[in-house]
């Protein structure tokens, strides 16, 4: 547990874009490059790599990202060799991405190499607990399962897919009865009460050859296009399909390991507030801020000179205040998702430099 | 009405400090140097000088200010000759200030010169109406009255002094029955209902010799110290007394001219919001701002590069948001006065550069 496995490679998917952290996140600096997870100054991507280091050293970490993000990756995780950064010429969802990374690993270490796939932009509170669960999932992968981790749900969330538990297959793993689409509220409440459904957190564990066979069977155009030249033109023809829909939901011999390790997908400023260190009035503010009669606020200094600007809040509660060099956002925490409306408006105006 | 009077001098009191517009206002850039009055980009001091130009050209405008504000005055009102800027070595309230300016004018133009004294940091909506009332007050001053303008009250304000109307003395002026201290709420309501009380707006009109005689009689140490050398040391010994308490309340032959010209003393960010041009949702925001489901907000760009920063508001109402190069303030409009608490805290911390 936590000990090195010489044959384990990690694939970290760092190609995501998104608008939910505007104005701090931008097209060239999306969420995974921001220190949103509560660790002072550490981008989520860097946290993801660091957290895996006890079982996968940086030399065996493959980062899959977009070509426009290569520089940001190099800055965020300088220990990962440049040759390990796979830059997708265009974004084509997770199935082509994982297939390409798996092909790369198979060429380097053979079909039997173990591969562990992780999103780059999630937070995990209990890192030793996480590594223990990863170890169990890798054990299932060694037995030629396509394995995943299912997060034990803590609320009736309607924004995630669920995994229904099947039979016990030993080593702390269960078979997957089925993958379930995002449920409505009533069904999500049933899932939480029933204790047979886990959240799908987008983590996958497999031998390279097992995944390649499954992809070839269920989305055969992916391996065909991966073999074509020129690569960029071929990749652009990839079907935009997720590994869940394209492969996992159709594959046999699926395993899931339940996990409880303080997982958070950091979905909005609300999550950042939840994860942040807060003062006695539940404010999460930059050092040196002045708060008077104010509770439950998040202020975020995303300027290029952090600490230069003094934040002063008087008589306000449950607000999010985000400051960057060229924009400032004020929004109630409970409406944090609606920052999308601002991004839509800036797009409509053609203010590309602020997107 | 509005025609030039060759013998009229204006004294504009621009030495005020204050904290109610922090972080836009600073010790070296107090309120009168900020464009708070609704005229795009025009500091209140510049508005005050411009508004008087039809009856007092800049060459006859005397600016009384603090030594640390001389540069700010020169920038704000470049048409006023440097020799007309009186820099008080220390602030000693309005009586020494007005006495010094009056002495300066008497030396230049004789005892019979007419002097009109104005605060530098008020807003006036109806400028021709204002000039007409000034003309009436100057007419009373020509008749050797110590004259003032009384603003017809529009609400039971407890933050101002009042002037009780006396007998009609002709030319649209009334005698002053008495100056009244800031009233409590019940009394303020009586004043508004009774229609015999006006707001004291700190504007005074007199012949230089008449004011000098009154000051000599009621605060004799002021003219004595004005004659002493060295000037700075003598000025520091001045009693800190207002012209109202020190002279007007005790003097004879007082006149008041009632005025209704959209006067506003711009007492807080709330007033700035009231005076500002607003959109259909009552927001007063910098050009280019994005407001979604937001009403009644004031956003103020006090940075050194106005327009660079995009303000985005989602789902917030009746807030004041002020941005400068080194600070940002969020406060409900109705609590705008409480910005003082932030300034007090910064003082306590010794953050002089932000005061």
Name which of B332, B299, B329, B18 is nearest A289 in CA terms: B329
Q: Contact B310/A328, CB-based, under 8 Å?
A: yes
Residue B89, token pair as written in the block: 């070595």
pLDDT at B204: 98
Q: Cα(A300)–Cα(A297) distance, rounded to whole angstroms? A: 10
Phi, psi dihedral angles at B146 (to 5 degrees): -85, 110
Name which of A316, A290, A22, A339 is nearest B318 in CA terms: A316
Is the CB of A326 inside 8 Å of chain B's CB atoms?
yes
Interface test with A, best of B283, B303, B328, B333 (most A CBs within 10 A): B328
- The alpha carbons of chain B give a radius of gyration, in whole angstroms, of 21
CA dist B306 to A220, B18, B300, B310, B325, Å? 56, 23, 9, 10, 10
In this model, does residue B232 exceed pLDDT 80? yes
Min Cα separation A156/chain B (Å)? 26
Torsion (CA) B185, B172, B143, B200 in degrees, nearest 10: 20
In chain B, what residues touch A316 (CB-CB under 8 Å)? 319, 330-332
Q: Contact A292/B345, CB-based, under 8 Å?
A: yes
Name which of B211, B222, B221, B198 is nearest B254 in CA terms: B211
Q: Write the ipTM.
A: 0.90
DSSP B173: E
pLDDT at B18: 83
pLDDT at A37: 83
DSSP A295: B
Min Cα separation A282/chain B (Å)? 17
Q: What is the pLDDT of residues B246-302, one digit of tens each?
A: 999 999 999 999 999 999 999 999 999 999 999 999 999 999 999 999 999 999 999
Is the CB of A347 inside 8 Å of chain B's CB atoms?
no
Q: Cα(B45)–Cα(B152) distance, rounded to whole angstroms? A: 23
DSSP A161: -
Min Cα separation A327/chain B (Å)? 4
Q: Find tokens 């922090």 and name the residue.
A: B22
Name which of B81, B95, B70, B94 is nearest B9 in CA terms: B81
Nearest CB to A346 within list B290, B330, B354: B290
In chain A, what residues touch B290 (CB-CB under 8 Å)? 342, 345-346
In chain B, what residues touch A332 (CB-CB under 8 Å)? 314-316
Q: Give the CA count within 13 Å in the CB-facing half-sphere of A182.
A: 4
Min Cα separation B292/chain A (Å)? 7
DSSP A125: S
Name which of A268, A263, A270 is nearest A202 in CA terms: A263
Reported pTM: 0.90
Q: How confident is the model at residue B317 (pLDDT cuts 50, 70, 90)?
A: very high
In chain B, what residues touch A341 (CB-CB under 8 Å)? 292, 314
Q: Which residues pair with A164 in a beta bridge?
A: A178, A197
Q: What is the pLDDT of residues A140-198, one digit of tens each?
A: 999 999 999 999 999 999 999 999 999 999 999 999 999 999 999 999 999 999 999 99
Length of chain B: 355
> Please, what is the Cα angle at A339 between A333 and A344, to 5 degrees?
170
Name which of B245, B351, B268, B333 is nearest B294 in CA terms: B333
Residue B308, token pair as written in the block: 């660079």
């Amino acid at each position: 547990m936590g000990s090195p496995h010489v044959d384990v490679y990690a694939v970290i998917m760092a190609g995501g874009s998104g608008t939910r952290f505007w104005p701090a996140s931008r097209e060239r600096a999306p969420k995974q490059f921001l220190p949103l997870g509560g660790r002072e100054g550490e981008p989520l991507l860097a946290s993801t790599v660091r957290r895996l280091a006890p079982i996968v050293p940086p030399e065996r970490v493959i980062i899959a990202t977009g070509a426009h993000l290569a520089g940001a990756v190099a800055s965020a995780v300088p220990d990962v060799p440049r040759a390990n950064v796979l830059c997708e010429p265009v974004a084509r969802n997770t199935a082509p991405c994982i297939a390409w990374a798996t092909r790369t690993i198979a060429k380097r270490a053979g079909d039997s190499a173990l591969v562990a796939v992780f999103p780059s932009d999630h937070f995990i509170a209990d890192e030793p607990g996480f590594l223990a669960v990863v170890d169990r999932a890798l054990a299932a992968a060694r037995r030629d399962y396509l394995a995943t981790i299912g997060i034990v749900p803590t609320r009736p969330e309607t924004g995630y897919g669920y995994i229904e538990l099947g039979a016990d297959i030993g080593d702390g793993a269960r078979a997957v009865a089925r993958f379930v689409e995002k449920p409505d509220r009533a069904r999500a409440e049933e899932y939480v009460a029933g204790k047979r459904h886990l959240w799908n957190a987008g983590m996958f564990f497999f031998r390279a050859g097992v995944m390649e066979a499954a992809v070839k069977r269920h989305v055969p155009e992916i391996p065909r296009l991966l073999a074509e030249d020129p690569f960029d033109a071929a990749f652009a023809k990839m079907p935009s399909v997720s590994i869940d829909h394209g492969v996992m939901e159709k594959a046999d011999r699926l395993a899931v390991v339940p996990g409880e390790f303080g997982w958070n997908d950091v979905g909005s400023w609300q999550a950042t507030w939840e994860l942040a260190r807060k003062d006695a009035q539940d404010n999460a503010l930059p050092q040196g801020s002045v708060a008077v009669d104010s509770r439950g606020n998040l202020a975020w200094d995303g300027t290029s000179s952090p600490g230069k600007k003094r934040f002063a809040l008087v008589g306000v509660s449950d607000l999010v205040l985000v400051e960057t060099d060229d924009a400032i956002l004020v929004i109630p925490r409970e409406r944090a998702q609606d920052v999308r409306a601002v991004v839509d408006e800036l797009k409509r105006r053609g203010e590309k430099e602020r997107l």
